[in-house]
Structure 1
Amino acid sequence: MLNRLVLCLLLLTTGSAYASLLSREGLTAQYMQTTEDADIWAQVGNRVITVGKIEEGQIIAVVPTAADHYEFRFGFGTGFIDKDHLAPVAGKQRVEDRLGDLNKPLSNLNLVTHQDTRVYNAPDSGSAPFGVLADNLRYPIIGKLKDRLNQTWFQVRIGNRLAYISSLDAQQDSGLPVLTYHHILKDEENTRFRHTSTTTSVRAFSNQMTWLRDLGYTTLTMYQLEGYVRNRMNLPARAVVITFDDGLKSVSRYAYPVLKQYGFTATAFIISSRIKAHPQKWDAKSLQFMSIGELKGIQDVFDIQSHTHFLHRTDRPWHPVLLTRSYHNILFDFERSRRALSQFNPHVLYLSYPFGGYDDKAVKAANDAGFHLAVTTVKGKVKPGDNPFLLKRLYILREDSLETMAKLISNQPQG
C-alpha cells in the first residue's frame, strides 16, 4: 500500500509535477506492464485519493522513485502505482503501437465521471479493458471520435498511453460553477433589503450549503480555479467555487458559521477602502462592512481577494464609475487595493470587477497590476481556456429554489 505521507510530500502544486520530476532528477520514463489489477492514486484538488485501477497486462510509462511506488502521468498531474504491481514488458510487445502522439496538445475539454467508469484500449466496448476511472473525477480529453455505430468516444491519455471512454459512461464537462453572494440576513430582520435580489436569507443560504454538502460537493479556492482555467490541476467532478462580493459584516455574522460548520471554503472580494478599523454594532437596516479584526477572524474559511479600492461606485444609475476612468487611474486603484489587502493575504491575485463593469482598459490594468484572474457578473460557468480576466459566475437569487440551484450547478450546458 502506498505511503500517503510520502505521496503528499512528493506532489507538486501544479499539473507539471510529472515533467518537473523528470527534469529535476534527470530521469527517463520507462514502459512497464502490470502483473495484476493495480489501484492508482493521484492528487485531485488538495487531496491524494484513489483515482481508479489499471487492469493486468496493461503497459504504461512510469518514472522510478526511491519510494515503494512508481510515478506516471495522470491528467494534469502525477499518478502513483505500487512497484510490486509492475514488471518489464513481457516478450517483444511493440509498445509504440499503443501510443499516440505524446506531444499532441489537449483540447481544453474534460470529461466528468459520476460513477466508476470503464476505460478501453480502443473505441469499442468489445475491446480489452485498460482499467477504470473512479467516480467524481474531471479528466482531460485529447479528442472525440465516432465508432461504426456513430457512438461518441472520448480519447484520453493515462501513463503516456492512449485509452478510450464511451460517452455513454461519462459526460463532457460543461464547466465549473462560481457562485456569487453579497448580503445575508435573517428573514425577520430583513426589512430594508427584502426586495434586493443580491440579499439572501440565512435560511436559504444554509439550505443551499446543506444541499452541496449532502451531494458531496467540494468547494474550491480561486487558486484551484486558476489551475482549472490554465489546465494545470486535476479536480473533482462535483466542485464549486463560492464567492462573496463587497465585504459586508453579514458575511462574518451569518455566512461564516455555516461554511465553517460544513468544512467549506470561500473567497471574499473586499472593497479595501471600506474596511473598518473597529467592528460596528450590528444594524440589519444598514449596509455595514467588516472590520480588520472581523476579516482576520474569518480567514480559516475565507480567502481575501480584491474588489478594488475606491472604484466601487456608480456615476449614474447602474453605470460603474470604472468605465469612465483612465487606464492609469484604474491601474493605480488595483495596485492600491492589492497593497491594502496584503495585511490579510500576501497573495492577492484575484479581482472582482465592481458592479461587473469592465472594458479593455480594466482588463489590461488587471493584468498589469499583477492579478491572475478576474471575475465578472456575466452569467455562465468557467471553462478551461477561458479569458482569465473575463470569467463568468452564477447567481443564486433570493427566490430561487433548490431545484433551480441544482439545474444551474449540475453538469449541464448553460444557455
Structure 2
Amino acid sequence: MYKFFLLLGLALFTSLPALARPSVPSSLPTPDPMAARYMVTTRDSTIYSPVGDRIIPVARLQAGTLLDVQPDEKGYFIFRFANASGFIARDVLSAAAPPLPAARDVALLHRNSRDYLLTLHPVSVYARADSQAPLLATLAANLRYPILTRETDTTGLRWMVINLGGRLAYVRADEVELDNGIPILTYHHILRNRDNRRFRHTSTTTSVEAFDRQMAYLRQAGYLTISLYQLEGYLRGNENLPARAVALTFDDGLKSVYRYAYPILKKNGQRATAFIISSRIKRHPQPWDPNGLQFMSLSELRAIQSVFDIQSHTHFLHRLSANKRPILLQRSQHNILFDFARSRRALTQFNPHVQYLSYPFGAFNRKAIEAAHQAGYHMAVTTMRGKVRRGDNPYTLKRLYVLRTDSVQTMARLIANRPQDVPPVDTPVPIRLPPLMQSVMPLD
C-alpha cells in the first residue's frame, strides 16, 4: 500500500494548488529597498542572526567586507543572511561607494535556491572562487545556508556560491556538506516493556525505555527539535534552521503520549507535534489500561501543550473500509473537505493555528490534497519514507519511522545527513562551538 501512495504522490507533484503566504510570526524588520546602502566593516566584527529558537552569533566578518545594509531601531544594521536577516553593530561600519555588479551577479543574488549547505565546523568564506582570494568571513558551525550556484576553479576545486549581505561569496565544497533534508520522525504508541503484552509485536508501538534513550541522544548530539511552523518557514525560504534539526510527530492522540512521551520531552526541553483524531477526544481522563488503545482527554491535551503543538489527524476519516483500505480514498472531495474543516474547528480550543494535517494511515489522493488546501491547511504529512527538502510538495511531506526493534545507533544513522559519519552512540559528539559562537545576542 505504501508503494501505491508513493507513486501517487510523485504523480501529483506537478499539479498542486499554490499556497497562500503562511502566518508564521517573525520579529525581524521588513527590509525597505529604498533605504538600502552599502557600508564596509572597519574591523573584524561578529554578526548575529535568528537560527531556530534564538538570535545567536553566526559568523565573524573580516575588516574591509562590503555589505548591503539597512538601519534598524535597536542600534544595529541588518542585511541578508541565509533565509533571514543578519545583524551587525553600527559602530563597526563606515559608508562605501556602491559596487557595479555584473548582470549575472544580480541574477544570482535573487535566485530562489532549493539546495543548501551544512557547516559542521567553522568555515571560511572568500571573495572569489580562489583559496588565495581575500577572506570575507568565517561561518559558525551548525548552520544551514542556501546555495546560489556551484563553480569549479582552474585547479579543479569545487566551490559553493552564497549570498552574504547582498554580495556573492564563496565556500569550498570540501569544507561543507550538501544538505540531504530535514527528518520528521513518526511515533504513535508508547508503553513500558513490562506492561506491553498486547502490542509487543506492533511496529508502531515504542517502548518507554527506547524512547527515553532516543530523546537523550537527540539532546546530547545537539539536535534542535523544531515545530512545523519553523519547518514551514524554512520551506518557504524565510527562516533559518540549524544543520542539526529534527521534527517529532505523534499520530492519533493516544493517552500513552500524555503518560510517557510528554514527561520525557519536557525533561529534555524538546518539542513535538501531536496529530489528533478530533472525534476521539475524551471528555474526562480514562483510568490507565496498557492493554487498550486509549485516547487523551480535554484536560490531558491542555496539559501537554507546553511541549506539544496540537494539529489535525482528521475527525471521522481515520477508519478502514470492509476491504481494509483507508475510507478516505472512497469519499468525495466534498465529504473530505467537510471532515478536514470540522477537525480544524474542533481543535481550535487547543490551538488557534491548526495549519497542519496528517493523513489517516498515510492515505491521500488528488481529492484529499485539494481538500486540505481548501480547508486552510498549509502542509500535510504522509507515511512515505524520506526527509524534507526545499521544493518538496508541502501536501505530501515524507517522514521517517523508528521501528520497535531499532537501536539508538540505527535511529542516529537514519536522521543523520551522512549516515556513514555517525559516531558510536555511547559517546555522542555534540557540535562544539568556538567561544565566539557560544553567546546569545544582547537584545537591549
State TM-score, norm by structure 1.
0.92
Question: In terms of mean alpha carbon deviation, does 138-147 or 172-181 score higher?
Answer: 138-147
Contact 1:40 1:50 in 2 (8 A): yes
- In structure 1, the gaps of 5 or more residues are 1-11
* Deviation, structure 1 residue 68: 2.2
Report Cα offsets for 1:362-403 as digits up to 9, x if no partner.
000000000000000000000011100000000011111112
2:56 paired residue number: 49
Asked if 1 retains the 8 angstrom alpha-carbon contact of 2:128 and 2:169, the reply is yes
SS at match of 2:40: strand
Of 198, 202, 206, 2:208 maps to 202
Within the candidate set 50, 59, 67, 1:60 is matched to 67
Write the deviation string for residues 147-180 of structure 1: whole angstroms up to 9, x where unpaired. 2233321110011010011111111111000000
Paired residue secondary structure (1:245): strand
Alignment match, 1:101: 106
AA paired with 1:87?
S
- The CA distance in 2 between the partners of 1:290 and 1:271, in whole Å, is 10
Partner of 1:22: 32
Aligned partners of 1:83, 1:31: CA distance in 2, in Å? 13
Partner of 1:111: 117
Q: Which consecutive aligned stretches of 4+ in structure 1 deviate over 3 angstroms post-superposition? A: 12-15, 92-99
Sort the Cα spacing of 1:413 and 1:216 in 2 relative to 1 into closer, same or farther, 3 A. closer
Give me the whole-angstrom Cα distance separating, in 2, the residues matched to 1:409 and 1:38.
Answer: 34
Q: Which of 121, 146, 167 is 1:140 aligned to?
A: 146
1:62 shift after superposition: 0.7
For residues 49-88 of structure 1, the aligned pairs below 5 Å read: 49-88=56-95
2:384 is the alignment partner of 1:378: yes
Question: Aligned partners of 2:204 and 2:141: how far apart in 1?
Answer: 35
Instruction: Using the TM superposition, give the Cα deviation of residue 318 of structure 1 relative to its aligned residue in structure 2, in angstroms.
Output: 4.6
Offset, 1:99: 8.9
Q: Superposed, which structure 2 residues align to 1:13-412 within 5 Å?
A: 13-14=25-26, 17=28, 20-22=30-32, 27-89=34-96, 94=99, 96=101, 100-101=105-106, 104-316=110-322, 318-412=324-418
Question: Conserved in 2, the CA contact under 8 Å of 1:106 and 1:141?
Answer: no
Q: Could you tell me how far 1:46 is from its partner in structure 2?
A: 2.2
Provide closer, same or farther for how the CA distance between residues 42 and 71 of structure 1 changes in structure 2, counting only shifts above 3 A: same
3-state DSSP of counterpart to 2:154: coil
- Does the CA-based 8 Å contact 1:100-1:162 persist in structure 2? yes
Q: Separation in 2 of the partners of 1:137 and 1:94?
A: 28
Given that 1:31 and 1:95 are in contact with CA atoms closer than 8 Å, whether structure 2 keeps it comes out as no
User: Secondary structure at the residue paired with 1:295?
Assistant: helix
8 Å CA contact 1:180–1:396 kept in 2: the answer is yes
Aligned residues: 396
Bigger shift: 263-272 or 152-161?
152-161
The answer to whether the Cα contact below 8 Å between 2:328 and 2:363 also exists between their aligned partners in 1 is: yes
Query: TM-score normalised to the size of structure 2?
Result: 0.86
Change (3 A) 1:413 1:379: farther
Change (3 A) 1:160 1:139: same
Q: Which has the higher contact order (CA 8 A, sep 6+)?
A: 2
* Structure 2: stretches of 5+ with no match in the other structure: 1-23, 421-444
Q: Using the alignment, how far apart are the partners of 2:117 and 2:149 within structure 1?
A: 11
Contact persistence 1:36–1:57 (CA under 8 A): yes
Distance of 2:87 and 2:358 partners within structure 1: 37
Residues 318 and 38 (structure 1), Cα distance of their counterparts in 2 relative to 1, 3 Å cut? farther
